[in-house]
Amino acid sequence: MTQHWSEGLHQRIARAIRDARQGRMSAQELADETQQLGYPITRSQIANYESGRKQTLDVAELLVIAAALEVPPVTLLFGGPPDEEVEMLPGWTGPAFFGIAWFSGDRELAWPGPEVIDPDEARAMVDQVIANLHTAAARLLWLTRKRAAVHSALVESRVVSKMNAKAWSDDQFDAMVRRDARLIEEIDEISDEIAKAVAESEGQTE
């Protein structure tokens, strides 16, 4: 079973690399990009991996190849149709978006599709994919994601302000300023939570 899983994983990554560079760069150009990134991977290594002659790809190679292809590393592992069944671990299969959620720690991505109606069943499925939600690492990941979402909302608010400021009344403009101030305050609060979580995590490891 383990051998079958590892071979399937290899084939999936090899196909993702080929698909990502198809029509954009040759194996040699991809090799040249890895050289520019400071961790050279030769054209023959890339060709051997894509053809199946090379059966292993270490983490450093995966990250550098993803950077050279300008794709998120997780898409080389769990790319393709999000609902496609993949074997994430030996004997553990599920839709590709489960694999992305597991790899990135994104709880919302793991939420099942509309066919799962029962909320308890849905939560159980999410918890199966994203385990140990209360660990320090998971909390830091959640806080980082939360801060990024608030920051995106602030950027969007400021873009809207620039586009519409001339047409707004004073009351509308003041409301937007207050909204931006609340978002900035929320970002600061989350940043403080992150600093606190980091300090607690470091204290636990000492």
Check pLDDT > 60 for residue 206.
no
* pLDDT interval class at 138 (50, 70, 90): confident
User: What DSSP element (H or E) covers 138?
Assistant: helix 136-164
Please, which residues have CB within 8 angstroms of residue 70's CB and are 6 or more apart in sequence? Answer: none
Check pLDDT > 60 for residue 125.
yes
pLDDT of residue 102: 87
pLDDT of residue 61: 96
The structure's pTM equals 0.73
Would you say 111 and 148 are in contact if contact means Cβ atoms under 8 Å apart? no
Distance, CA of 20 to CA of 69 (rounded, Å): 7
Length of the chain: 206
146-184 pLDDT tens trace: 899 899 999 998 888 888 878 888 888 888 889 999 999
pLDDT of residue 1: 57
* pLDDT interval class at 77 (50, 70, 90): very high
pLDDT (average), residues 96-107 = 86
Sign of CA dihedral 145, 17, 61, 27: negative
Distance, CA of 62 to CA of 37 (rounded, Å): 13
Closest CA to 67 of 10, 17, 102, 13: 17
Check pLDDT > 60 for residue 205.
no
Rounded (10°) CA dihedral 44, 45, 48, 49: -150
Pick the CATH number of 2-129 from 3.40.630.30, 1.10.260.40, 3.30.1490.100, 3.90.1170.50: 1.10.260.40
Give the residue extent of every domain in the chain.
Answer: 2-129, 136-205
Amino acid at 66: A
Check pLDDT > 70 for residue 17.
yes
* pLDDT interval class at 140 (50, 70, 90): confident
* pLDDT interval class at 114 (50, 70, 90): low
Mean of pLDDT over the chain: 86
Closest CA to 139 of 105, 179, 100: 105
Residue for token pair 């959640």: 142
pLDDT of residue 204: 58
The percentage of residues in the chain with a pLDDT greater than 70, rounded to a whole number, is 93
pLDDT of residue 184: 96
pLDDT (average), residues 80-90 = 88
Q: What is the full DSSP assignment across 27-78?
A: HHHHHHHHHHTTS---HHHHHHHHHTS-----HHHHHHHHHHHTS-HHHHHH
